[in-house]
Amino acid sequence: MNFNKATVIGGGSFGTVVANILADNDIQTVQWLRDPAIADAINQQNLNPKYLPGTELNPELSASTDLDAVIEDADVIFVSVPSRSVRDVVSTFAAKLKPHQALVSTTKGIEQENFLLMSQVLSDLCPDNPVGVLSGPNLAKEIARRELAATVIASKNSDLRRNVQSGLSCSYFRVYASDDLYGVELSGALKNIYAIVSGFVAALGMGENSRSMIITRSLAEMSRFAVALGANPLTFLGLAGVGDLVVTCSSPLSRNYRVGFAIGEGKTLDEAIESLGEVAEGVNTLRYVRAKAAELDIYMPLVMGAYEVLFNGADPRLIAQGLMSGEHASDVEFALPRSEI
């Protein structure tokens, strides 16, 4: 299963970065977009002016608005559309796929119905195709500038892992492998919630001690939730877990951080999203995770507090204050016997 031809479904910043690296690595790559103006700009000017302005793309990268045409001969299809669109988009071509064609999600979100991660949506729609997930501390604008970065390809299929590593690795982008598909993907979805919380903290001018506490307790909360759903907590100590969490909670390039920062400055959620101009997956993920945590009785004070801030107008300061009186007092969640926690 060597990848000679690749398709990237989606015209956003990260999808464009992935497509450009593939083209740089001499893989015949086409990018599918809904917007014909952006497709024309990629084909004629080697630019994505909306999502990566100023970044010159590989001239061999092509773009199309014809979905059927771009998936027909692709060895691998990277799905890089917002989570709310994944099922609709993939269902339009799922029946036309051949068994050897692999699907790799780069979308860090959750489908509300049945609490499905994107790999589960892909497997549901395409049960005969290999499925993988790409996730890590991957701020697209930095990668576009060829700043050093790394990511994780997770899949149960070893050939898929190997070929994605080969197809995307280059002098500035390193690809590591994992077989914990669920843990890697859940890490990528959950960290967006805590990036919003970190944005609150930064906007309110809290100190570095407060920010460090929020990030560390976020990691504990993520792993607690993941273990309750069957993931391996050790996955959260890697790039897809703590690596992605730190960068997303620290950088103004993070869309979710910027939403939280805007709300911390006093904007409403609608105003924050409008000013962003892009999808912040953490907003919807927060809704779904809060509901699942309540259903399973999982202690998640940051999730519960963030929900109150975003949707019920609570004061963001209450989130940090709530941690000071919470019921859990162990530092590393899974280091002590359960009877001592």
Q: Which residues are catalytic?
A: 191
Round to whole Å and give the CA distance between 285 and 269: 14
Element (H, E) at 119: helix 118-125
Q: How far is CA 231 from the centre of its chain?
A: 17
Element (H, E) at 188: helix 181-203
β-sheet bridge partners, residue 151: 175
**At 261, is the secondary structure helix, strand, or coil?**
helix
The number of beta carbons lying within 10 Å of the beta carbon of residue 301 is: 16
Round to whole Å and give the CA distance between 283 and 288: 9
Angle subtended at Cα 312 by Cα 289 and Cα 85, rounded to the nearest 5 degrees: 45
Contacts of 63 (CB under 8 A, 6+ apart): 11, 30, 31, 32, 33, 38, 39, 40, 42, 43
8 Å CB contact between 281 and 195: no
Round to whole Å and give the CA distance between 125 and 105: 13
* Angstrom distances, CA of residue 260 to CA of 115, 146, 205: 24, 27, 13
The pair of three-digit structure tokens given for residue 125, joined into one six-digit string: 């729609």
Q: 26: phi > 0 → left, psi -120 to 50 → alpha, else beta; which? A: left
